Structure 1
Amino acid sequence: MNVGNTVHEIFGRLPEKAALYSEPALNQPLYTNLHVHLPPNFGSIQSIDDAIAHAKQEQIVVLGASNYYDHTIYTTFAQAAVKAGIIPVFGVEVLTMDEALQAGGILTNDPKNPGKLYICGKGLTRFDDLDDATLVIWQKIRSGDAQRIEQMIDRLNQIDFLGQCEIRLQYDVIAQTVAEEKRVPVHTVFLQERHLVQALQQAIWEHIPEKDRAAWLQQLYGVQNAIEAEDVVKVQNDLRTYLLKQGRAAYVDECFVSPEEAAQLILGLGGYVSYPALIDGAPSISPFEGPPEVLVEHLLERKIPAAEVIPTRNNLDTLTLYVKTLRAYGIAVGAGTEHNDAVWLPLLPHCKRNVPLSDELLSIFWEGACVAVAHQYLQAKGAEKGVRFLPDAAARHSQIQELAAIGASVIATFTN
């Protein structure tokens, strides 16, 4: 079964809207996570089964994947989620470059690169029969990223200090290793920077004795300060910083599409655009995002109807201010954990320093997840409705309320 058929199989079998389970489920918020990266994307989730088992244990009823490059794994994800009584939400994350913001030196949701803008898609329902315009953008992203990673590998292999220790990397070998570790077909693996530094760290561990690693890494980085050589995750992050970032030996310019192309791709995949807000996840809130009303203005200018946050980055008070402001302007808000790091954390979102979410935030995030579920349900049913950008604030509020009620009923029907 292909991914598109999976979506329709899950939601198409449910009753029509008028016959959905009628219990007012919105009155009792349930736990959700709308943004994780599943294997083969880099992260601490070891397998689809691992993700579902943890979600079930943490009583999460809606789990949203935000993978990029290949979505073949979504069929396996969907089937495992349904079996566990969890509703899957299908998403995508796209790296874009806004040239006007770049020219103005304005940071957005990337804390270091002006104009670099992450954009997410939620509620994807079309994967297999895409129109030509969508396919062109999809292939542009995939081929551009694959070429960049291959160039980075070539540049790593040209570093004499690595060559002297017979350390060499190969795209196919790394991809095969990732596929075996994550238990996915190798053709679904599109390597990321983090995959490269993980493979490089493992090669260093194989070739350099433990007692020599700190001094050896110090030479590799070309620094005099003390170097971490025991914490594997820290070593991988340092390798990325000293070798792959701008101005370093293996840096290669990223391949971007424009925000407009990303939005076209997301709509072509049957989803809706969502902005992943960084807020105080950086040393200072970016000009694009602060204060909250400015972020709202930027989203409305770009006709973006939804936003999402990764609360583990944020302080509770700051997060609350932003989420309430976004929702007050008729922008649906969801939350996730991303899980794009090697360190494991719970799937249930929480704020910095393990501060739990307030009931108010849980309610808003539950509503946002219900909106995503409703969008997938309506699209699978062949309805033209779903999440759309509406210029009128009152209309945006009504849309959220209507879709959230449908989504809550879908979840209640699905889980009862």
Structure 2
Amino acid sequence: MQNLSTLPEKLQLLEWIGKQKDRSIYNVNAHLHTPYSFSAFKDISEIFQLAKEQGVRILGINDFYSTDGYEEFSYLARVNNIFPLFNIEFIGLNQKDKEKGLRLNDPGNPGRVYLSGKGLFFPPKMDEPYASQVNEIKQEIITRVGQMMDKTNVLLKDIGADIVLSMREIFEKYAVDLVRERHIAKALRIQVFEKYSSLDDRAVFFEKLYGQAPKVYMGNNAAVENEIRNMLFKAGKKAFVEENTKAFLPIDLIKKMILHAGGIPTYPLLADNLEGEYTAFERNKEALLEELKARNVHSIEFIPNRNDLRLLKEYAGFFWKNEVLVTFGTEHNSPDMIPMKVETRGHIDLDDELKELSYKGACVVAAHQYLKSKGEEGYVKESGERNGNSLQPFVELGHGVISKYFAE
């Protein structure tokens, strides 16, 4: 990809876009995990193949703790004439929220927070001490996963199975930069399926391993992997290993890392569940808005496939009207190959209003990337404070950036 710094200067770009008649609203998926963390995709090229087939023109890479996929992502974006957004995701801990028992966007763990960074520098920048701190976190995660794998191997031996999992094989076949518990589930499922072609034999095997009959169809790869994870690796299960607190950075430090890397600290809203319930932190959108401002966070994102369309519109519209950046994505952070186009719960498409909001949000991130590449302040300053009080100038500039990228 050409560096955005080679695009015309801001005033020229705005003058150019002002003369264009095309005001297209492009389909956006601003949050995708790749095999550099864990992903439904076999490789990054599959992401772009599916995006082209399904009409998605703007994609955001969003791996856990890693920017290692940026170069390939950028190259394939240019080859396929798709605009790239460069993002990252962390899992952190706010000790004060934990002590209060406050659940934020992780409903099972008080104080734990998922936090994304949107619109990071490309090429990526992660200087010391941040680079070492991120690597230490990744090593903590790999160590824990290795312990869970060891426990799984003991369980396999106990039932007389001639299946052995190895970290080396997982890295060679299924992982790139980071091994997570989903990788163990995938490796185990593949070995079992290779050994047993009969659905009944597979079911017998997993009944011995779980101590109870499996509940999912033994021909569904994703369902079996998800059940392995739930039956073996969740809290209280046979192969569970407690997470070391060293695996979670303080939220303020994560925000500093994101800002240092050129990005926009972004709070991913879990939002409503199947019963229409919210976590205590997210329950009142007015209070949430004030709390995010107090924490110097001016950007949110949704993974709409877990949300009701009406409630999503209510929340997303409220924050956008209050000049908070809003983006949408699918994650694809599980074995399930769901559509690339963003949908709400029940495979319901975004309506026209949300599609426009989704594109506007992508424009703000694109404008931020462009301005940072020019050595200027983006949507947020290096301090994390807002740069101005309105989203609209960034929407207009970002539309120019994206349109010029497609035109060249």
Q: TM-score, normalised by structure 2?
A: 0.90
RMSD: 2.4
Q: How does 1:396-411 map to 2 (within 5 A)?
A: 397-398=389-390, 400-411=391-402
Partners of 1:358 and 1:288 lie apart in 2 by 27
Contact 1:331–1:396 (Cα < 8 Å) also in 2: no
Q: Which moved more, 1:98-107 or 1:350-359?
A: 98-107
1:13 aligns with 2:2: no
Contact 2:77–2:83 (Cα < 8 Å) also in 1: yes
In structure 1, which of residues 400, 409, 415 is the aligned counterpart of residue 406 of structure 2? Answer: 415
Alignment: residue pair count: 398
SS at match of 2:129: helix
Contact 2:216–2:227 (Cα < 8 Å) also in 1: no
Q: Which amino acid aligns with 1:415?
A: F
In structure 1, which of residues 327, 338, 345 is the aligned counterpart of residue 338 of structure 2? Answer: 345
Which structure shows the higher helix fraction? 1
Residue in 2 aligned with 1:310?
Answer: 303
**What are the Cα deviations for residues 351-374 of structure 1, in whole angstroms up to 9, with x where unaligned?**
112222122111211111001111
In structure 2, which of residues 208, 212, 233 is the aligned counterpart of residue 244 of structure 1? Answer: 233
Residue in 2 aligned with 1:213?
Answer: 202
**What are the Cα deviations for residues 19-77 of structure 1, in whole angstroms up to 9, with x where unaligned?**
11323789542211110112233222232222112222333222101012332221111
Partners of 1:377 and 1:100 lie apart in 2 by 36
Q: Which amino acid aligns with 1:206?
A: E
Q: Which moved more, 1:40-49 or 1:269-278?
A: 40-49
In structure 2, which of residues 99, 112, 120 is the aligned counterpart of residue 116 of structure 1? Answer: 112
**Compared CA separation, residues 410 and 275, structure 1 to 2 (3 A):** same
Partners of 1:73 and 1:160 lie apart in 2 by 34
**Compared CA separation, residues 281 and 322, structure 1 to 2 (3 A):** same
Partners of 2:264 and 2:148 lie apart in 1 by 33
In structure 2, which of residues 70, 76, 81 is the aligned counterpart of residue 74 of structure 1? Answer: 70
Q: TM-score, normalised by structure 1?
A: 0.88
Partners of 1:106 and 1:195 lie apart in 2 by 30
SS at match of 1:120: strand
5+ residue gaps, structure 2: none
Q: How does 1:10-409 map to 2 (within 5 A)?
A: 10-20=3-13, 21-23=16-18, 28-125=24-121, 129-159=125-155, 161=157, 164-178=160-174, 188-208=176-196, 210=198, 211-223=200-212, 228-254=217-243, 255-281=247-273, 283=275, 284-388=277-381, 397-398=389-390, 400-409=391-400
Percent same amino acid at aligned positions? 30
Contact 2:70–2:122 (Cα < 8 Å) also in 1: no
Partners of 2:345 and 2:125 lie apart in 1 by 41
Q: Which amino acid aligns with 2:392?
A: Q
5+ residue gaps, structure 1: 1-5, 180-187
Q: Hey, which bits of structure 1, 4+ residues long, moved more than 6 A? A: 389-392
Give the Å deviation of 1:294: 2.6
